[in-house]
Amino acid sequence: MPHLAHGAVALGCSIVFCLIAFAMTVADFEMNPVSRRWLASPHTRVEVRALMVKTIMTITVAVLYGLTKVQSIILAGTSMFLFWSYVRWEPHFNEWINHCRSGLYGMVSWTGIILLSITFSPKRREEAYRDQMTTAMVAGLLPCFFGGFAISYGRLRWRIKRVIKSFR
C-alpha cells in the first residue's frame, strides 16, 4: 500500500500544475491591438481550449494504457479539433503565426489519422503493413504542414474579402 501515498501526491501535484498552467494561459493576452509580439492574442479562448485538449491527450495516453482503439479515437479526434480550432479562429495578431500553427496541427492530425488506420486495419498485425504506414506517416508530414498552412491562409483571405464586400 505505500504506492497509494505516492499516487496521491502525484495526483495532487498534477492537479496543482494543471490549475497553474490554465491560470497562466488565461492571463496571457494582449491589450494592445497593434502589438507585433509573435504570440500576441486578443483573447485566450483558443489557447485555453488547446491546452485543455492537450491535457486530455496526455491523460488519455497515461490512463487508458492498453485500450489502443479508444486511445486512437480520442487522439485522432482531439488532434483534428486542434487543427480546426486554429484554422477557424486564427487567434494571433500575426497572420503567419496562425498559418504555421495550423500547419503544425495539420501534421498532428495527419498522424492521428494514420494511427486510426493502423489501429482499425485488419492487417495491423503484419510488420510490412505497419512499416508501410509509418513510412506514409513520415512522408506525409511536410505536405500536411503546407496543406494546413495553405488552408489557413486561404480561409483568412476568403474571410477578409467577404468582410470587405459586406461594407460596400
**Cβ of 45: how many Cβ atoms within 10 Å?**
14
**Per-residue pLDDT tens for 36-83?**
888 888 888 999 999 999 999 999 998 998 899 999 999 999 999 999
Q: Report residue 34: phi and psi, to 5°.
A: -105, 20
pLDDT at 41: 85
- In one-letter notation, the amino acid at residue 99 is H
Where are the alpha helices (H) located in 45-126, listed in sequence order? 45-63, 68-89, 95-120
Map grid coordinates 485555453 to a residue.
48
**Per-residue pLDDT tens for 128-142?**
999 999 999 999 999
User: Alpha carbon of 50 to those of 86, 108, 125: distances in Å?
Assistant: 9, 13, 33
Contacts of 50 (CB under 8 A, 6+ apart): 82, 85, 86
Using CA atoms, how far apart are residues 115 and 141, in angstroms rounded to an integer? 13
Average pLDDT over residues 102-116: 97
pLDDT at 39: 81
User: Which of 84, 104, 90 lies closest to 147, judged by CA?
Assistant: 104
